[in-house]
Amino acid sequence: MKRWAVLPAAVLVLASAGVDPANATGTTAQRESATCDVALSSFGPEGDPTTGLGPVRLASTSTQVPNGYGLDVAGWAISGDKAYNWYYSLTNEAEIDPGLPRGSQPVGSGWSTYKALEVSQFAAKGATARNTAYGLAGDGTLRRWSFDVDIPHRFKATGSAPGFAAVKSMALISKTATYDTFLANTRGGALYTIRIPVGSPMKPVVRPVRTRTWQGFEKLVATKCGQYGTFLVGIDFDTRTAYQYAVGHTNGTATVINGLGRRSGTFPPRAYFRWATSPYEPLNGD
C-alpha cells in the first residue's frame, strides 16, 4: 500500500527534517532524534473545499488510517466560532474517494477565542479505552471533554481548570491510562509540562521545564521519538521559521533538551498540526 507524505486536501505542507548533522551527534537523545521527524501539515486561511471547512484557525493532530483500499483521513479543527470533526477518504491513487463519506460535523459554537485544541485517544491491553479532547479558552481556562468514536463530534464536558492565560501553545507528549501530559510555552518564555489526571475533578499538575527563551513560538508540535522521548518543533510566526528539539523523558528542570537546528522551509501563520497513523498511537514523553 502506498503511504502519502503530502495529501491533496487541507492544503498540506510537509517540510523535511533539516537536522544539522553537527547538532545531531553527541548524546544518545541527539543521535536518536536524527532518525525522528514529525509529519507536519497545516490548514490555510482559505479553508478546505474537500471537507467544506471555511478558514481554519486551529487544528488537532489528525490521522491517516489504512482501510484496505486507501486511507481514512480525519481530525478536528476550529473555523470561525465552531469546532468541527472533519473526514474524507483517499484511494490507493491518492485521490478523494467519491464513494465514501466526506465533510465536517460541528462540535458546537463558542470556539472563536480558543488558543489550543487537541485530542488524546488511548487504548492498551487491560486498560479502558478513552477518547478525550482538550481546549484552552481565551480566558485561560483549560477545558476537557470525552466523546464516542462512533459520534466524534459530540463532546461531553468532563472538567475544567483556570489559570492558563499565559500559555501560548500546547503539544501533547504523553498518553497513559491515568493521565495526559502537554508541553506548553508561555508569553513570558517559560516551558512547562501540564499533566492532567483522567479522574474528576480535573486537577492539572504543572511543572517548570525551562524558565526563559521559549516565548517566540506561536505553535508547538510534538511526536514520539524513541521509547520515552519527544521530537519537538517550535514555529515562530513572526520570523516564519521553525526549530527542532530532542526532548528527553520529562523530569522538571532536569529534562534534557537538545537543539537540532532550524527546520527547512518557510512557516507563515497557519493552522499547523501533525499526521498520525493511528488515533491510539503511543506517546510516552512524560
**For residues 121-150, average pLDDT:** 95
Structural domain contains residue 4: no
Quote the pLDDT of residue 66: 94
CB atoms within 10 A of CB 281: 14
**Type and span of the H or E element at 70:** strand 70-79
Question: Above 50 in pLDDT, residue 263?
Answer: yes
Q: Find the CATH number of the domain harbouring 216.
A: 2.115.10
Contacts of 158 (CB under 8 A, 6+ apart): 132, 144, 145, 146, 200, 202
**For residues 85-106, average pLDDT:** 95
The radius of gyration computed from the CA coordinates of the chain, to the nearest angstrom, equals: 18
Quote the pLDDT of residue 11: 32
Q: What's the mean pLDDT when you consider all of the chain?
A: 89
**For residues 219-237, average pLDDT:** 97
Q: Which amino acid is at 152?
A: P
How confident is the model over 156-184, as pLDDT tens digits? 999 999 999 999 999 999 999 999 999 99
**For residues 38-52, average pLDDT:** 92
Structural domain contains residue 3: no
Cα–Cα distance for residue pair 169/185, rounded to 1 Å: 6
Structural domain contains residue 281: no
For residues 224-249, one letter each, b for 16 or more C-beta atoms within 10 angstroms of the residue's C-beta and e for the rest, the string is bbbeebbbbbbbeeeeebbbbbbbbb
DSSP state of 217: -
**For residues 62-68, average pLDDT:** 94
> Which contacts qualify for 204-213: CB closer than 8 Å, 24 or more apart?
204/142, 204/161, 207/250, 207/252, 208/252, 208/253, 209/183, 209/250, 209/252, 209/253, 209/255, 209/257, 210/253, 210/257, 211/253, 212/188, 213/189
Cα–Cα distance for residue pair 231/247, rounded to 1 Å: 6
**For residues 265-285, average pLDDT:** 96
Q: How many domains does the chain have?
A: 1
CB atoms within 10 A of CB 276: 20
- Whether 243 and 38 have beta carbons less than 8 Å apart is answered as no
Residue 34: band (very low, low, confident or very high) from pLDDT cuts 50, 70, 90:
low
Higher pLDDT, 198 or 126: 198
Structural domain contains residue 116: yes
Structural domain contains residue 286: no
Quote the pLDDT of residue 35: 79
Question: Above 70 in pLDDT, residue 250?
Answer: yes
Q: pTM of this prediction?
A: 0.88
Instruction: Return the C-alpha cell found at 271.
Output: 493552522
Higher pLDDT, 263 or 28: 263
For residues 189-215, one letter each, b for 16 or more C-beta atoms within 10 angstroms of the residue's C-beta and e for the rest, the string is ebbbbbbbebeeebebeeeebeeeebb
Structural domain contains residue 143: yes
Quote the pLDDT of residue 33: 52
Q: Tell me if the bond preceding 162 is cis, omega within 30° of 0.
A: no
Quote the pLDDT of residue 1: 26
Structural domain harbouring 112: 9-276
Residue 26 — φ and ψ, nearest 5°? 115, -100
* Residue pointed to by grid coordinates 517540510: 15
**For residues 66-76, average pLDDT:** 95
Residue 44: band (very low, low, confident or very high) from pLDDT cuts 50, 70, 90:
confident
Structural domain contains residue 91: yes
Higher pLDDT, 210 or 27: 210
Quote the pLDDT of residue 125: 85
Residue 23 — φ and ψ, nearest 5°? -100, -5
Structural domain contains residue 173: yes
How confident is the model over 147-159, as pLDDT tens digits? 999 999 999 999 9
